[in-house]
């Protein structure tokens, strides 16, 4: 009422809050599964492998869409997009607005709830290592941004990542319903490349130019200042940027390799269809020629002439 702005800091009580929202996430996961995905699966009659992938993509589409809308609302209302300098100004960002802190706690709760869901969803054993690796990477990046006071940069990076992931899993859902429809994969490919470029540009802007200009360039863990003194060293700064560029290049290389393999499979399938159609056409023409050579047609096992009369057999001449 008096216009005082309340901000928040992280602490041990966050663990209790995260635990509470883990149970909330499990309940929401079950609701989406029972009232949406199971009903669609019963209509599609998918195989066991496609059934598992459809459920996975369906859950992630709901989560990524909600997170993109929520994250976009936060970064717009807090002015992080309209003022990019705010990503590094006044670092460290120890005290957070309520909606920023709540967003990070919910993100941590969701990815932690994904661990018991591996058992509830009966994920196949060969898929578990990949799922665990994905969950661990998300937890590492989100918790790192939250604990190291890089929440503003983390919000923008999550927005870009979730946007690309939403289109990918949406394309998978459409593909499972209609295997001939792969247009959304092309949309995802464009969005993926654009988000990678924005991510790399953002890293260079914040690490290369933003953090080295922070006023406090000393290591002050009690104030949450962990990085600015390191980025003041040009050698360390260039090493970090090099690692970031190499990582993004490896991601793009895997993406290009995947796209080339997909296009190769597509063109091989198209060429095999053309060869099959050409072979079928040649067989039809050959059968038509054989029918034309025969002057009559068969009816009840007797060869009939074209005028409907039976062909007259020649009597052998007596010697």
Q: What is the pLDDT of residues 93-120, one digit of tens each?
A: 888 999 999 999 999 999 999 999 988 8
Around Cβ 11, how many Cβ atoms within 10 Å? Answer: 8
Assigned domain for 211 exists = yes
CA distances from 147 to 48, 96, 106, 144, 310 (A): 40, 12, 15, 5, 97
pLDDT tens-place string over residues 128-162:
999 999 999 999 999 999 988 889 999 999 999 99
pTM of the model: 0.80
306 in a structural domain: no
Q: Looking at the domain assignment, is residue 138 inside a domain? A: yes
22 in any annotated domain? yes
Q: Phi and psi (nearest 5°) for 214? A: -65, 140
> 260 lies in a domain?
yes
Q: What is the pLDDT of residue 42?
A: 85
Per the prediction, the chain carries an average pLDDT of: 83
E-strand ranges in the chain read 297-299, 302-304
pLDDT of residue 319: 44
Per residue in 203-224, pLDDT (tens digit) is 888 887 877 776 655 556 556 5
Task: Read off the tokens for 219.
Answer: 């290591």
Q: Quick check: is 305 in a domain?
A: no
Q: Does a structural domain hold residue 242?
A: yes
Domain that holds residue 152: 7-272
User: Domain for residue 30, yes or no?
Assistant: yes
- When divided into structural domains, the chain yields a total of 1
């Amino acid at each position: 009422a008096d216009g005082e702005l309340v901000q928040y800091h992280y602490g041990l009580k966050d663990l209790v809050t995260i635990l509470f929202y883990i149970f909330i996430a499990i309940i929401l996961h079950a609701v989406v599964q029972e009232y949406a995905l199971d009903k669609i699966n019963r209509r599609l009659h998918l195989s066991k492998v496609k059934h598992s992938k459809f459920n996975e993509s369906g859950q992630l589409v709901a989560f990524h869409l909600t997170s993109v809308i929520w994250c976009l609302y936060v970064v717009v209302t807090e002015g992080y997009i309209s003022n990019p300098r705010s990503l590094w100004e006044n670092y460290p960002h120890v005290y957070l607005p309520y909606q920023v802190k709540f967003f990070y706690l919910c993100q941590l709760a969701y990815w932690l709830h994904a661990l018991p869901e591996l058992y509830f969803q009966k994920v196949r054993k060969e898929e578990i290592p990949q799922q665990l690796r994905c969950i661990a990477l998300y937890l590492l990046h989100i918790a790192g941004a939250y604990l190291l006071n890089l929440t503003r940069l983390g919000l923008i990076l999550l927005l870009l990542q979730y946007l690309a992931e939403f289109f990918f899993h949406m394309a998978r859902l459409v593909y499972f319903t209609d295997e001939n429809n792969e247009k959304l994969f092309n949309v995802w490919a464009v969005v993926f490349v654009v988000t990678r470029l924005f991510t790399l540009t953002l890293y260079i802007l914040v690490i290369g130019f933003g953090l080295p200009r922070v006023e406090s360039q000393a290591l002050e863990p009690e104030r949450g200042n962990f990085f600015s003194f390191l980025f003041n060293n040009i050698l360390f700064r260039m090493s970090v940027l090099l690692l970031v560029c190499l990582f993004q290049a490896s991601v793009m290389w895997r993406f290009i390799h995947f796209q080339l393999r997909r296009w190769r499979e597509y063109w091989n399938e198209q060429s095999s269809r053309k060869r099959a159609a050409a072979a079928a056409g040649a067989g039809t023409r050959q059968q038509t020629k054989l029918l034309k050579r025969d002057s009559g047609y068969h009816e009840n096992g007797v060869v009939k002439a074209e005028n409907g009369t039976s062909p007259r057999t020649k009597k052998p001449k007596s010697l």
